[in-house]
């Protein structure tokens, strides 16, 4: 079953949106930067191919087959990001867009040889977990810094990789994966957070920032 680039991208988007609840046509269209009518069209096609469970007006979810496609594509995406950063010396802010193209190269043998070449990494440069060849995801954080309480001691485990400027900002303030953080105070009027860093210095982070940083407890 040969899937088009568009179909794979829709499936990835449905997978991603599913993590935070039921998926509506509107949300999907927004995620795909297209119109709701286009999303409806695609959902009908994916439904006929049994990649999604789609009932008119009732939203959509991935079938088992669709889930496998999503995980396979995500695996490829993240492996290529590791390649670009670790082998080609790209910055972590430059690789997402290129990986969006590379993830659609078909050869399964390529994926497995690439994984081996990279030493079977379990996480990509942004801390995102890489599904193994069986489609199993390593444990990873789903808790954002924004959801934590004052006083908590945390480790930065992953960051959202979609926005290059956000990644450049993290680079600028030298906030790297693995760093230990402690929440000093939280301001309810704008949901900004003050954190204490490993070196004792203090940093103010906006709500937008804390919502895109994922942490685990120290």
Partner DNA sequence: AATTATTTTTAGATTTGCCTAAAAATATAT
Partner DNA sequence: ATATATTTTTAGGCAAATCTAAAAATAATT
Residues at the interface with a second copy (CB under 8 A)? 84, 87-90, 94, 97-98, 101-102, 105-107, 109-110, 113-114, 117
Segment 153 to 182, residues that bind Mn ion, using CB under 5 A: 161
Q: Report strand pairing: 213-217 vs 202-205.
A: unpaired
Asked if 35 is part of the footprint of DNA (rule: CB under 7 A), the reply reads yes
Query: Does 75 interact with Mn ion (rule: CB under 5 A)?
Result: no
Query: Which one among 128, 129, 130, 154 touches Mn ion, defined by CB under 5 A?
Result: 128
Q: Which of 72, 75, 76, 126 binds Mn ion (CB under 5 A)?
A: 126
Distance from CA of residue 128 to its chain's centroid? Answer: 6
Q: How far apart are CA 1 and CA 144, in angstroms?
A: 37
Binding residues for Mn ion, rule CB under 5 A, total 6
To 10 degrees, the CA torsion angle through 61, 66, 69, 71? 40
Identity of the residue, 4 or 168, whose beta carbon is nearer to DNA in the bound complex: 4
Q: Which is nearer to a second copy, 2 or 190 (CB)?
A: 2
Round to whole Å and give the CA distance between 39 and 173. Answer: 39
Count the alpha carbons within 13 Å of 27 in the hemisphere toward its beta carbon.
15
Angle at 134 between CA 144 and CA 131, to 5 degrees: 25
Closest approach, Cβ 103 to a second copy, in A, equals 10
Task: Choose, by CB under 5 A, the member of 12, 76, 96, 158 that binds Mn ion.
Answer: 96
Residues 37-96 that bind DNA (CB under 7 A): 37-45, 54, 56-57, 59
By DSSP bridging, strand 52-54 and strand 192-196 are unpaired
């Amino acid at each position: 079953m040969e899937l088009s680039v568009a179909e794979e991208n829709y499936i990835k988007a449905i997978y991603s949106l599913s993590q935070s609840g039921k998926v509506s046509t509107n949300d999907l269209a927004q995620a795909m930067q297209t119109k709701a009518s286009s999303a409806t069209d695609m959902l009908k096609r994916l439904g006929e191919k049994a990649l999604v469970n789609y009932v008119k007006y009732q939203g959509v979810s991935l079938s088992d087959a669709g889930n496998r496609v999503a995980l396979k594509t995500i695996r490829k995406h993240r492996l290529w990001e590791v390649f670009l950063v670790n082998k080609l010396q790209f910055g972590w802010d430059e690789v997402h867009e290129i990986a969006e193209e590379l993830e659609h190269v078909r050869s399964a043998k390529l994926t497995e040889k690439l994984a081996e070449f990279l030493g079977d990494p379990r996480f990509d440069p942004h801390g995102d977990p890489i599904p193994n060849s069986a489609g199993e995801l390593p444990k990873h954080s789903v808790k954002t810094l924004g959801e934590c309480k004052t006083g908590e001691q945390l480790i930065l485990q992953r960051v959202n990789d979609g926005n290059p400027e956000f990644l450049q900002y993290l680079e600028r303030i030298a906030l790297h994966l693995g760093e230990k953080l402690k929440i000093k105070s939280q301001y309810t009027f704008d949901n900004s957070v003050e954190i204490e860093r490993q070196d004792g210095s203090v940093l103010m982070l906006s709500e937008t920032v804390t919502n895109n940083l994922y942490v685990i407890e120290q």
